[in-house]
Amino acid sequence: MTAPTGGVLLFGPPAAGKDTVSAALHALDPRFSQLVKVKVGAGRTTGYRMASEDQLTELRRAGRIVLETQRYGNTYAVDRADLDALRSAGGVPVVHVGSLTHLRSFLAAVDEPWLRVLLWLPRDETARRSAGRGDRDTHDRLTVWDTTLEDLAASDPDDAPFDLLLRTDVRPPESTAALVREAFAARPARPVTGEELTGFLCQRTPAGG
């Protein structure tokens, strides 16, 4: 296979399985690697490149920040140098985003096509997963779930922010990863329409995709 361009953007609320699907995708095809974000703040350090405020300021001054976000009192950033290094090694970067504004900002910054995937699950499943993994801020994560739904519901019906919609509560991570890999290779002929997105978000039973 020729060297791919772009990468995979995984969008979804807390506990939707972004980390789990990223790991399954890497296990299925080692080219796919979750990008390690820069983090300034407290809490979990695993999976992040921890930095100080001064270090983050230097990255900003160097023009290396592709995306910067704040959540749970911390700052997270995507360093362009990390993207370039992963791609130079023949990898396909997998980046996580949590709002449509961040998704659009990232795409504008990289200025190339990426596969945009919405990972979704019902609110009660978010609560169950968050409690099951011992989160002490499940209430905050449910608030973010609500905000994510509002963000999607308020999007322009003529907008088409995603190429693929997947429910992570109806299939194992390995199957989800396989669908993402297939879509990345095929490059969908058209994005998901606003009407299709609305219908997807309204699904209440595991019949949805």
Average pLDDT of span 131-157: 90
Range of the domain at 23: 8-35+91-201
In-domain check, residue 42: no
For the domain that residue 95 is a member of, what is the CATH number?
Answer: 3.40.50.300
- By C-alpha distance, which of 34, 20, 43, 17 is closest to 168? 17
pLDDT (tens digit per residue) in 79-110: 999 999 999 999 999 999 989 999 999 999 99
In-domain check, residue 206: no
Provide the whole-model pTM. Answer: 0.90
pLDDT given for residue 47 in this prediction? 84
pLDDT given for residue 208 in this prediction? 41
In-domain check, residue 187: yes
pLDDT (tens digit per residue) in 177-198: 999 999 999 988 789 998 899 9
Angstrom distance (rounded) from CA 195 to CA 56: 40
pLDDT (tens digit per residue) in 40-62: 999 888 889 999 999 999 999 99
Q: How many domains does the chain fold into?
A: 1
pLDDT (tens digit per residue) in 2-42: 445 789 999 999 999 999 999 999 999 999 999 999 999 99
pLDDT given for residue 167 in this prediction? 96
In-domain check, residue 55: no
134 CB burial (10 A radius; 0-12, 13-18, 19+): exposed
In-domain check, residue 57: no
DSSP 186-206: H--SSPPPHHHHHHHHH--ST
Angstrom distance (rounded) from CA 100 to CA 4: 24
Average pLDDT of span 139-154: 92
